[in-house]
């Protein structure tokens, strides 16, 4: 099997290499591709030094599967070209997520939507991935009427630029390339993505539209606020759910804990709950502060944390590739 990574020099691309090494995907050839400015760079992998090649060179190599983390514009241009060769494209950008012909996949939730003929597969937004894994078991039993989501997102979600801006500010260095319009160190910014005509941001509306698509719930009432916080390690979410039916809080906790890929960390009296510093470099989604919302009937609050570079991006993409192998599509 030939495996390619497009965008291999970025934060997510490098994290993909880590996850591939950890899970032990078997392949015969690894092709690392990136934009023109990164061609020729060298990356160490399993004791070998691999040179980064152009997208065209990667395409000419005819890989069986390519993990894309090269940005939306590159994906729009190159993903169809790879797909035309019979290659499976697993894309981490937003380019294909809302295309009605492209499945938006979190393997624990809806892997069955992938068929042998599915050549482009979209990886959801990092915040959406950790959300829907926790919601899926309860949606099936209780039904979900409304969601109110507030995110607390790591600077790693803005790539190298976000991390560099925060570090420069901590080091009292004036940065010439800023990821945010305001200072991020010792600050929080209620702004993720671009502002839209409805005064929500693009990141907030991704949570709305992607959650509805993955859960096959086009009418689900969802509202979201995205906040950038000065941490690395992972994204956190405060989620308020209004169910359609009555629920038992202990049963709800059991349902969440039975979901593959979830770790329930919910012992508030012992001050034990998920935090970004705990989940960094871990592939699971962590859920805590699970409690009844006493202000409405059938309401529940919970706190969800996951490493956005891992399960929120690289790990989810690699797990999709593993599914393709397991189903013998490749």
Catalytic residues: 126, 235
Question: Which tokens belong to 170?
Answer: 């901590």
Rounded Cα–Cα distance for residues 127 and 284 (Å)? 13
The percent of the chain in helix, strand and coil, each rounded to the nearest 5, is: 35, 25, 40
Of 12, 9, 10, 6, nearest to 310 by C-alpha is 12
Q: Please return the burial class of 25, using the count of CB atoms within 10 Å of its CB with bins 0-12, 13-18 and 19+.
A: middle
Q: What is the DSSP string of 56-90?
A: HHHHHT--SEEEE-S-HHHHHHHHHHHHHTT-EEE
Sheet holding 235-243, edge to edge: 221-228, 144-153, 235-243, 299-306, 285-293, 262-264
Rounded Cα–Cα distance for residues 265 and 275 (Å)? 10
Q: Give the strand pairing for 262-264 and 221-228.
A: unpaired
Q: What are the residues whose beta carbons fall under 8 Å from the beta carbon of 294, sequence distance 6 or more? A: none
> Contact 63/4 with Cβ under 8 angstroms?
yes
Q: Angle 275-214-163 (CA atoms, 0-180°, nearest 5)?
A: 40
């Amino acid at each position: 099997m030939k495996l390619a990574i497009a965008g291999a020099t970025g934060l997510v691309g490098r994290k993909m290499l880590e996850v591939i090494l950890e899970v032990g995907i078997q392949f015969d050839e690894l092709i690392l591709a990136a934009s023109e400015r990164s061609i020729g760079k060298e990356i160490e992998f399993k004791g070998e030094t691999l040179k980064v090649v152009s997208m065209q060179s990667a395409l000419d190599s005819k890989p069986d599967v390519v993990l894309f983390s090269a940005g939306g514009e590159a994906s729009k241009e190159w993903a169809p070209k790879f797909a035309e060769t019979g290659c499976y494209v697993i894309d981490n950008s937003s380019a294909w997520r809302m295309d009605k012909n492209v499945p938006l996949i979190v393997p624990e939730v809806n892997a069955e939507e992938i068929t042998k003929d599915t050549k482009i597969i979209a990886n959801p937004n990092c915040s959406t991935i950790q959300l829907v894994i926790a919601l899926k078991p309860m949606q099936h039993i209780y039904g979900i009427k409304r969601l109110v989501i507030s995110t607390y997102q790591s600077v790693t979600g803005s790539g190298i630029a976000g991390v560099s801006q925060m570090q420069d500010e901590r080091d009292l260095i004036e940065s010439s390339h800023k990821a945010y319009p305001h200072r991020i160190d010792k600050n929080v910014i209620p702004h993720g993505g671009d502002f839209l005509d409805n005064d929500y941001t693009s990141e907030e509306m991704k949570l709305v539209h992607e959650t509805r698509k993955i859960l096959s719930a086009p009418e689900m009432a969802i509202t979201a606020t995205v906040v950038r916080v000065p941490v690395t390690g992972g994204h956190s979410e405060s989620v308020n759910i209004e169910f359609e039916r009555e629920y038992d809080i202990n049963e709800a906790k059991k349902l969440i804990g039975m979901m593959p890929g979830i770790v329930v960390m919910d012992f508030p009296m012992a001050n034990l709950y998920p935090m970004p510093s705990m989940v960094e470099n871990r592939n699971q989604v962590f859920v805590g502060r699970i409690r009844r919302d006493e202000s409405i009937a059938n309401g529940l609050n919970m706190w969800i944390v996951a490493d956005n570079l891992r399960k929120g991006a690289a790990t989810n993409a690699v797990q999709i590739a593993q599914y393709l192998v397991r189903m013998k599509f490749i």
